Amino acid sequence: MSEDQKRQLESQLWGIANLLRGKISADDYRDYILGFIFYKYLSEKQHLYANQLLEGEEETEYTKVKDEETLKAIREESIIKLGYYLQPAELFSALVARGQDKSNEDNYILEDLQAILNHIEQSTMGEESEEEFTGLFEDLDLSSTKIGRTVGARNDVIVEILNFLNGIDFKLGEVESDVLGDVYEYMIARFAAGAGKKAGEFYTPQQVSKILAKIVTTDKSKLKSAYDPTCGSGSLLLRVAKEAEVSEFYGQELNRTTYNLARMNMILHDVHYRRFDIQQEDTLEHPQHLDKRFEAVVANPPFSAHWKGNKNPLNDSDERFSQYGRLAPNTKADYAFLTHMLHHLSDNGIMASVFPHGVLFRGAAEGVIREYIIKEKNWLDAVIGLPANIFYGTSIPTCILVLKKCRKADDNIVFIDASGNEHFKKEGNQNALREEDVELIVETYRKREGLDKYSYIAKLEEVAENDYNLNIPRYVDTFEEEEPVDIKAVAENLKTIDDKLQETNQTIAQYCKELGIETPF
């Protein structure tokens, strides 16, 4: 499938949003649209797989199979292979047909739809895939007044969405598995761009994800595991999989809606349910993978979130936080996330995460933790300053910190200042990194190269001299030297100007005399 077709699919799907705009607010219809796309995907996948199983049978079209035995066999196979099961009558197309049937007075499909979504989850009950599918559709509240006041109105909206989706061919059988996943990603990003900021959570722009993914896969083509402690919709983890072969994905996310999205996103990207483990919980309070270490750790944790910190007595002895001497302040969890990530980082792993600039220079407890990481552990590998205004919904300047437990170049730290005007392009009121900007950041990091006005390889002693303040301008000099002024030439210019002034003054005086007015100069 070409890029063109992908773009076409993107604009087709985004068309639904236009369909609903004005009727329902964007935040509300997002969950429905993303949920239904997922349902259609599961349904097409089931249909394809069932037909595959039916090859050589008497009846080769799944929707026409009536024989109970055959259906049972398909069900069993599907649960193992796909992790879930949909009956022929539960397929997306079958449901849409019922919704379109105007001859039937009872074209209400809400109840059917609810039943189907429940069935999908129930079909996994007691199976290995159960955890990956439970509660997946819980945000699709078909009785919510947000999508319509009366049952009839809600039904109309749902039928409209389903009809629209039905007209779009996902071409699952023909294309690479990632295409629909990418389009899904695109939808998530588009919705994120439109959404207001909520508690410092921001969708990581693709280009930033790409930098993180490329950095953690430096010198690696295969990774045992990738972990994101604040995984949101899971896009960062999936991005890592584009740069290297990842065997297992681990993630944790507090927000239920995005947690559901993350699981759908994984499945849509054809990541088998056995290969991912995503949990819904507060990462700092209730870590879900405490005993595990990962080869790649990536994150875009909420910027300066509040956390319990010293108000939770357990934190003092928590191995994730205790060794650093101080706990991150209650109002700025940035270092709590950072050390949590370090806890999960395997000795041969690389961690890269986005943070607000404050982590580079804020003092007090954060200064103590920073100093410990650099001075005692020597884990900090690189500091990369990003342009301001590249996240949707916030103009906050951000940076990427790269950390490793066993560093090869262990006597220095790479500083990159990618915030200069020539290192991004303006897109409306946002700034965006171009392909070449991403490339330059990654290459400079990988080669540990000092480039004029762009990067600097700082010796550890130099960082110590700066009291472990990592503020980028202290290391990367991006200031244009002022041209030395040629004072001799300027002095001559001044003399010439004075001569000319005298001439002009004389001319003026002559005219003034003729006019009979006072000569002013």
Q: What span, in angstroms and rounded, lies between the C-alpha atoms of 13 and 73? A: 34
Helix and strand counts by DSSP (H, E) for the chain: 17, 11
Q: Hey, what amino acid is at 448?
A: R
Q: Hey, what amino acid is at 306?
A: H
Kindly give the residue spans of alpha helices, DSSP state H, lying in 269-413. 334-344, 358-361, 364-371
- Smallest gap from Cβ 468 to another protein, in A, equals 14
Nearer to another protein by Cβ, of 67 and 511: the residue is 511
- Smallest gap from Cβ 338 to another protein, in A, equals 19
- Smallest gap from Cβ 466 to another protein, in A, equals 10
Neighbours of 367 (CB within 10 A): 16
Q: What span, in angstroms and rounded, lies between the C-alpha atoms of 86 and 44? A: 10
Nearer to another protein by Cβ, of 409 and 511: the residue is 511
Phi–psi pair at 352, nearest 5 degrees = -140, 130
Provide CB contacts within 8 A for 276, sequence distance 6+.
132, 248, 249, 250, 251, 263, 266
Selection from 253, 241, 257 nearest residue 287 by Cα: 253
- Smallest gap from Cβ 249 to another protein, in A, equals 33
- Smallest gap from Cβ 328 to another protein, in A, equals 19
- Smallest gap from Cβ 278 to another protein, in A, equals 33
Nearer to another protein by Cβ, of 22 and 520: the residue is 520
Q: What span, in angstroms and rounded, lies between the C-alpha atoms of 67 and 447? A: 63
- Smallest gap from Cβ 91 to another protein, in A, equals 52
Nearer to another protein by Cβ, of 118 and 519: the residue is 519
Nearer to another protein by Cβ, of 291 and 482: the residue is 482
- Smallest gap from Cβ 361 to another protein, in A, equals 5
Nearer to another protein by Cβ, of 272 and 500: the residue is 500
- Smallest gap from Cβ 362 to another protein, in A, equals 9
Nearer to another protein by Cβ, of 282 and 486: the residue is 486
Q: What span, in angstroms and rounded, lies between the C-alpha atoms of 28 and 46? A: 28
Nearer to another protein by Cβ, of 75 and 474: the residue is 474
Q: What span, in angstroms and rounded, lies between the C-alpha atoms of 356 and 303? A: 6
Nearer to another protein by Cβ, of 56 and 516: the residue is 516
C-alpha dist (Å) from residue 213 to 352, 428, 440: 8, 26, 14
Neighbours of 420 (CB within 10 A): 13
Q: What span, in angstroms and rounded, lies between the C-alpha atoms of 316 and 124? A: 40
Element (H, E) at 414: strand 412-417
Tokens of 11: 């604009």
- Smallest gap from Cβ 359 to another protein, in A, equals 12
Nearer to another protein by Cβ, of 135 and 363: the residue is 363
Nearer to another protein by Cβ, of 15 and 420: the residue is 420
- Smallest gap from Cβ 514 to another protein, in A, equals 6
Tokens of 459: 């010796």
Nearer to another protein by Cβ, of 276 and 468: the residue is 468
Site for another protein, rule CB under 8 A: 357-358, 361, 385, 388, 395-397, 419, 471, 473-474, 477, 479, 482, 484-487, 490-491, 493-494, 497-498, 500-501, 504-505, 507-508, 511, 514-517, 520-521
| 276-280: strand order across its sheet | 276-280, 245-253, 222-228, 294-299, 345-356, 398-404, 380-385, 412-417, 455-459
Selection from 287, 282, 275, 323 nearest residue 306 by Cα: 282
- Smallest gap from Cβ 207 to another protein, in A, equals 18
Neighbours of 180 (CB within 10 A): 26
Q: What is the 3-state secondary structure (H, E, C) of 172-193?
A: CCCCCCHHHHHHHHHHHHHHHH
Q: Hey, what amino acid is at 270?
A: D
